[in-house]
C-alpha cells in the first residue's frame, strides 16, 4: 500500500468531521435564535414558555445521529445562556438541556436504527413521553425549587400563577402534574409534527 493510499481515508474522515461540525454549529445557532422567540400558552403558567428551538435539534438528530442531537442541544443552551443570562445560576439551563435531550436523543436513536417514516413517528412518540417524564422530575425536584431558593421567587406566587390557569392547582406537585406535564406533551406533539413535515425537505441539505 502506498503512502498516498494510506492517507486518503484520514483526509476523507477529517473532511466528514469538519462538514458535520459545521452543520451542528448552523443548527445550534438556528435553535438558539428560535429559543429567543418564546411565548406563553393558554394552559401553562407564565414562567413556562413555548418555543420551536427543538425543531432544528431534532432534524439534526435524525440527519446526523443522536450524539449530534445532544451536541446541538448543548450549544443551543450555551448560546442562550450567553445571550439571556440566568436567574437560577445555570440550574434552569441545565434542566432545559436534560429535558431537551430526553426528547431528541431517544427519537434520533430509534430513527437511526431503521430510517423509515414509521420509526421516525415511533421515535418522536417515545421522545415526547421521555421528555414528559423527565420534565416532571426536573421541574419538581430541580427547576421550581431553584426559582424558589436561588431566584427568591415566592412559592405562593408560583402556585398562584398555576391557579390562575387551573383552580385545581394547590401546590407544586399539582402544578407539575396539571400544567407542566400537559405543556410538555403539547410541545412534543407540535415539535414532532413540524419536524415530520419539514425533514424530507431539509434532509438533502444535511446529507451533502
pLDDT reported for residue 64: 93
Rg (CA), the chain: 19
Give 62-96 pLDDT, tens digit per residue. 999 999 999 999 999 999 888 887 777 777 788 88
- Is the predicted pLDDT of residue 9 greater than 50, yes or no? no
Place 153 in a pLDDT band, splitting at 50, 70 and 90.
confident
Range scoring the smallest mean pLDDT among 7-16, 71-80, 153-162, 166-175:
7-16
Number of domains comprising the chain: 1
Task: From 49, 27, 54, 53, select the one nearest 38 (Cα to Cα).
Answer: 49
3-state secondary structure of 39: strand
Residue 3 lies in a domain: no
Residue 194 lies in a domain: yes
Residue 4 lies in a domain: no
pLDDT reported for residue 179: 93
The string of DSSP codes covering 101-140 is: HHHHHHHHHHHHHS-SHHHHHHHHHHHHHHHHHHHHHHII
Residue 61 lies in a domain: yes
pLDDT reported for residue 90: 78
Task: Residue 160: give the domain boundaries.
Answer: 17-29+50-204
164 touches 40 (CB < 8 A): no
Helices 66-84 and 3-36 pack at an angle, to 10 degrees, of 50
Residue 109 lies in a domain: yes
CATH number of the domain where residue 195 is located? 1.10.1760.20
Residue 11 lies in a domain: no
171 touches 159 (CB < 8 A): yes
Residue 45 lies in a domain: no
Task: From 112, 53, 47, select the one nearest 77 (Cα to Cα).
Answer: 53
Task: Identify the residue with better confidence: 8 or 85.
Answer: 85
- Taking residues 149-153, report their average pLDDT: 79
Amino acid at each position: 500500500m502506498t503512502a498516498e493510499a494510506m492517507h486518503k481515508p484520514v483526509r476523507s474522515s477529517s473532511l466528514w468531521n469538519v462538514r458535520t461540525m459545521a452543520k451542528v454549529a448552523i443548527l445550534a445557532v438556528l435553535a438558539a435564535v428560535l429559543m429567543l422567540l418564546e411565548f406563553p400558552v393558554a394552559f401553562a403558567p407564565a414562567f413556562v414558555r413555548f418555543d420551536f428551538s427543538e425543531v432544528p435539534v431534532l432534524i439534526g438528530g435524525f440527519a446526523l445521529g443522536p450524539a449530534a442531537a445532544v451536541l446541538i442541544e448543548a450549544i443551543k443552551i450555551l448560546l442562550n445562556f450567553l445571550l439571556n443570562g440566568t436567574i437560577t445560576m445555570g440550574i434552569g439551563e441545565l434542566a432545559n438541556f436534560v429535558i431537551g435531550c430526553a426528547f431528541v436523543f431517544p427519537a434520533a436513536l430509534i430513527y437511526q436504527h431503521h430510517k423509515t417514516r414509521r420509526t421516525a413517528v415511533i421515535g418522536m412518540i417515545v421522545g415526547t413521553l421521555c421528555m414528559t417524564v423527565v420534565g416532571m422530575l426536573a421541574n419538581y425536584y430541580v427547576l421550581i425549587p431553584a426559582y424558589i431558593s436561588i431566584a427568591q421567587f415566592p412559592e405562593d406566587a408560583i402556585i398562584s400563577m398555576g391557579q390562575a390557569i387551573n383552580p385545581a392547582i394547590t401546590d407544586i406537585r399539582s402544578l407539575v402534574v396539571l400544567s407542566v406535564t400537559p405543556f410538555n406533551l403539547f410541545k412534543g406533539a407540535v415539535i414532532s409534527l413540524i419536524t415530520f413535515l419539514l425533514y424530507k425537505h431539509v434532509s438533502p441539505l444535511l446529507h451533502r
